[in-house]
Amino acid sequence: MLIRKKIVQVILVLGWLVWSLPVFASGEHEGHPGKHGDAKAAGKHSGYSGKHDGKGKKGGHHGYSRRKGPPKDIPAHIRERLDPDGSKINLNASQIGVKGMEILVSTPEVKNVVSLALQKNNLGDEGVRILCDSDTFQHVEKLSLWGNDVSEKGAKMIAESSNMKNLKELKLTRNKIGDEGIIAIVGSMNSHNLTFLDLSANKISDQGAMAIANSPHLANLKRLDLYNNQITAKGMEALLNSKSLKSLEELILVRNEIDFELGDDLAKKQTLPNLKRLEMY
């Protein structure tokens, strides 16, 4: 790969980006490998630096080993993964499936959960429907649906659900919601309280990026992760000059379709008042 002369230095950052609650620890991207080379390299853009390393524990959070199928006793597994105070449940990599989701929403002990981690559970849109239709999780503020084969249909369910009004952090990493899905989400009042939105690897193009940039509901958003999508300089420009993203502090655009030199130029001209961290390559 050709090394551009304009790159003066490479920054290696060893810190982690972690969610405020332990069950949402980083590690789901295993480091954002840049489109132009080293996964640990990031250049400075208009004073912004830092690396979205996201290195976490292998084999699942809290040391749980990787499961090959659903638990034999799903109700017992749910109780085991529920925090003692009943406010958080970590079902990451549990593979409970649609049947398990039906059991989960019928479990009285989880009615006060505010942090719900459902990474890799084979839920699909049907599992999301069960989640959104039930008022069991109407208090949820942090929701991770990472890697559950959720399409734009599932995204629209989240956008339209009266039980998803309290969301502050939403992770839809590695699904297939596409532009239609993100248009539905950012066009919904359910996104009004969001401070963190992870849409990595969802086949989002400039159309989705511009919907985010123009959404009237994202004034509280501080962190936006669009790693590994199909956004070009057009979508990047819309995001960096959005009049709606007033609180945005971190923007990840690694592994998109952004021209190197044009991206640098846009970064220098960005108008987001609170942006402190921008990653493009």
Q: What is the mean pLDDT of residues 79-100?
A: 98
Whole-number percent of the chain with pLDDT over 70: 76
- The pLDDT, as a whole number, for residue 24 is 40
The model's confidence at residue 17, banded by pLDDT at 50, 70 and 90, is very low
For 148-178, what is each residue's pLDDT tens digit?
999 999 999 999 999 999 999 999 999 999 9
**pTM, two decimal places:** 0.81
Residue 46 pLDDT > 50? no
Q: What is the mean pLDDT of residues 221-225?
A: 98
SS3 state of residue 196? strand
- The pLDDT, as a whole number, for residue 69 is 86
Residue 41 pLDDT > 90? no
The CATH number of domain 61-279, selected from 3.40.1280.10, 3.80.10.10, 3.40.50.300, 3.40.50.1220? 3.80.10.10
SS3 state of residue 233? helix
Q: What is the mean pLDDT of residues 44-52?
A: 36
- The pLDDT, as a whole number, for residue 66 is 63
Q: Where are the beta strands (DSSP E) in the chain?
A: 88-90, 115-117, 142-144, 169-171, 196-198, 223-225, 250-252, 277-279
Query: Which of these ranges, 2-16, 22-36, 91-105, has the smallest mean pLDDT?
Result: 2-16
- The pLDDT, as a whole number, for residue 5 is 33
- The pLDDT, as a whole number, for residue 65 is 52
The first and second tokens of residue 143, run together, are 């929701």
Q: What is the mean pLDDT of residues 23-33?
A: 44
Name the residue with higher pLDDT: 227 or 31: 227
What does the angle CA 249 – CA 250 – CA 251 come to, to the nearest 5 degrees? Answer: 130
Residue 28 pLDDT > 70? no
Contacts of 219 (CB under 8 A, 6+ apart): 244, 245, 246, 247
- The pLDDT, as a whole number, for residue 32 is 52
HSE toward the beta carbon, residue 256, CA cutoff 13 A: 30
For 177-219, what is each residue's pLDDT tens digit?
999 999 999 999 999 999 999 999 999 999 999 999 999 999 9
SS3 state of residue 170? strand
